[in-house]
Amino acid sequence: MPKVYIIIVNWNGWQDTIECLESVFRLRYDNFSVIVCDNGSSDESLARIANWADGEVQASSTRPELRHLGDPPYPKPIPYLRLDSIAAADFTGREERLFLVQTGRNLGFAGANNIGLRLALKTGDLEYAWLLNNDTAVAPDALAELVLRMEEEPRAGICGSALLYYDDGKTVQALGGARYSKWTARVHHIGEGLTMDVAPPQREVEKQLSYVVGASLLVRRAFLETVGFMNERYFLFFEEIDWITRARNRFQLVYSPRSIVFHKQGRSTGQGSGMEDSDSVSGMYGPRSRILYTRIHHPIALISVVPSILASAAYRLMTGRLASFKRLMSGAFDGAFVPINRTNDRAN
């Protein structure tokens, strides 16, 4: 079994994280270690996660149908090592399988995952890294099936899972990833709303993939060494498509339909379920990242992307959603004027 480092980012969500970890440690795959990167939480998340590893806190599921993913609980205590962002320089040769890393502040999705990726690369035994959202629960074969798909395709750089909505455990959120339209800078999750019994076959899904959704993303070591880490200019959203765009067709995207991951959409970023909620971080970072990515990779498309965003803003203003309007405009303004270097950002 190739060595896999599972990287989980936590931000004020320790209850979700320990449920995720409970399912992770029950995976039918032996050769893995877990790096939890805490993004400057204010709820003592790392202490709570450490308590779980010590056997002092129990994980729980809000979905009885999915309780079997973490029940019976994995035997405790689980040996772990706590590190801060400075001390987390190297853990080569450590016997622990769980590493709790404090980033020091909220670095966003890319920044926190990059800390975990850099640590994993330093060990020397990394073959794959699995970026996994903390608001997920995984089926026992989820990792083994991802690795199997990658081993079948030596040119594959990234592999995605079948993401199902946690709330009902049957409906597809995304089959591996999404299609992207550069002229609107909008994405469409492949298979969203279907069930797995009527989902399109694996090869058909792979033909449609523009990028793999970061909630469950297995990346090959060679991809990291060739393309580099995720671009931290994106605090949230568009990190994954920027990553594969920078790969310049040097690696394939693949998908494993037998890698099943249940996702509580939006919980990892504090969004809840409403993607257009004016109290959600997506209201600002969505338009910001749409414009930023377009400026870097498809600047000609700004002629249609910007009017599309402004039309959304006008609609929110006309329907009395003032807070949502302000968030959208703030994000769009920042995305339009944040300094970039197209050469460096494309290569990173």
> Is residue 276 very low, low, confident or very high in pLDDT (cuts 50, 70, 90)?
very low
Burial class (CB in 10 A: 0-12, 13-18, 19+), 43: middle
B/e letters for 260-279, b = 16+ CB within 10 Å, e = fewer, are bbbbbbbbbbebeeeeebbe
Local structure of residue 199 (DSSP, 8 states): P
Judged against a pLDDT cut of 60, whether residue 89 lies above it is answered with no
Q: For residue 98, which amino acid is it?
A: L
For residues 127-135, average pLDDT: 97
Least-confidence region, from 51-65, 69-83, 91-105:
91-105
Sheet bearing 186-189, strands edge to edge? 186-189, 177-181, 211-212
pLDDT band at 86 (very low <50, low <70, confident <90, very high): low
Nearest to 216 by CA among 32, 9, 60, 38: 9
What CATH fold (topology level) applies to the domain 4-269?
Spore Coat Polysaccharide Biosynthesis Protein SpsA; Chain A (3.90.550)
- The structure's pTM equals 0.93
Structure tokens at 136: 């997920």
Report yes or no: 4 and 130 within 8 Å, Cβ to Cβ.
yes
- pLDDT tens for 8-25 read 999 999 999 999 999 999
Structure token digits, residue 309 = 């965003």
| Nearest CA-CA partner of 297 in 175, 211, 208, 205 | 211
Other C-beta atoms closer than 10 Å to the C-beta of 141 total 16
Domain boundary assignment for the chain:
4-269, 282-347
98 - beta bridge partners?
34, 80
